[in-house]
Structure 1
Amino acid sequence: MPRQFFVGGNFKMNGSVDTIKGIVSHLNDAKVDSNTEVVIAPPALYLLLTREHLRSGIEVAAQNVFDKPNGAFTGEISVAQLKDSNITWTLLGHSERRVVLQESDSFVASKTKAALDGGLGVILCIGESLEQREAGKTIDVVTAQLSAVAKEVKDWSKIVIAYEPIWAIGTGKVATKEQAQEVHAAIREWLGKEVSSEAADNTRIIYGGSVSEKNCRELAQEKDIDGFLVGGASLKPAFVDIINARQ
């Protein structure tokens, strides 16, 4: 079976009650490719609002989750609380958290295990800095990030890997389709060697980094690019064009 195309929308720390309702209404009314799995990630404050108004068939993700059960962890959200609220996915390992909040590979891996054990799907973000790319360390960096997860997780069936080169996030710079395909192919090769041939065949590897309606169709043609994680463009009507990139 071919891998189902997957498009995630990461709203980051953007939105208000009115703008979130507007985005959701647009998605509810839009004609989107039925063969594409769509998941949107609003800020935590608006998770319930989004889930309440969003039509069935489009899922909602948290932008983060903690790796401990409910308890004395001020400011955090647990896996159980997300499940209780019908939030079925979470983003983890986004570079904005790895870099600014100094989240380690092992901490991201621990949260990934907790989310999967609790029944959530995980959009696992990985990627290299410009300095690391220019030093020829891209594959070393992304496979180290994945190896930390592989130490904790055996079943990758509910993981979507989002390759997001840090130098391309929010900068307007986009990896060429050849650059993206090269890294995606290396990730799939790593999955085959370090996890299983089944994981290599079935795990969706999506691209993120200034994806827009202008570049999505070209990127979507590459054999190892199984979709997109979209930042700023997910707040705009053109998000629907990205969802429909394979049509």
Structure 2
Amino acid sequence: MSRGEHPRIHAHDRLQQNRVRIAQEAARLMSEHGIRDFHHAKLKAAERLGVLDSQSLPRNLEIEQALREHQRLFLGDSQPQLLRQRREAALESMHFLAAFEPRLVGAVLEGTADTHSAVCLHVYSDDPEAVMLYLRDNGIPFDTQTRRLRYSRDDQPEYPVLLFAADELPFDLTVLPRDALRQAPLDRTDERPMRRASRAQLNLLLEQDSGNSFEQQLSTALR
């Protein structure tokens, strides 16, 4: 081993250890405090751990993997029930919103939903007011905000978001134009097209044998 090689190996090991520590702490913060944004969670975790090196920040996918492991170790009894409750609520809401071709996205689809998680749906209408009117006509009060979704570095449009509660569960509806059905926005975790499930696909996911791994269940349902 050359004279300078040992310090480089030591520095690399320390970097990897810090990435793991930050990912685990970010996962804990997301699970216990309801932080939904990966970037915010990793910065807060690094601050809490006193790690100042930006190269030690884990990728979003590493945090998601740590979150799954945290849930398996510490929430093995409760998280699967919370997930199924939200998937069943999503299925019912998608039937209610059938005219807007809803797609389930986010933690409820991906399998990481917990007590803090909203049921996130993409609904499609060239007139967002039509979705709002439909909710009002059915006696559902809602709040509005906007969300920016990314299709590429230069294509990041903003869409209206409708927030409401049903059966004590939070719902989050992003209203996109109908032609957005053809191309999914990029996922914040791995920068790939976001996975989306139709009502039929979600129904299949709920029917999957719980003995299968999450990835097996999801890949089968989304074929």
TM-score range, shorter chain: under 0.3
**Which structure is richer in relative contact order (CA contacts within 8 A, separation 6 or more)?**
1
More helix by share: 2
Q: Give TM-score scaled by structure 2 length.
A: 0.27
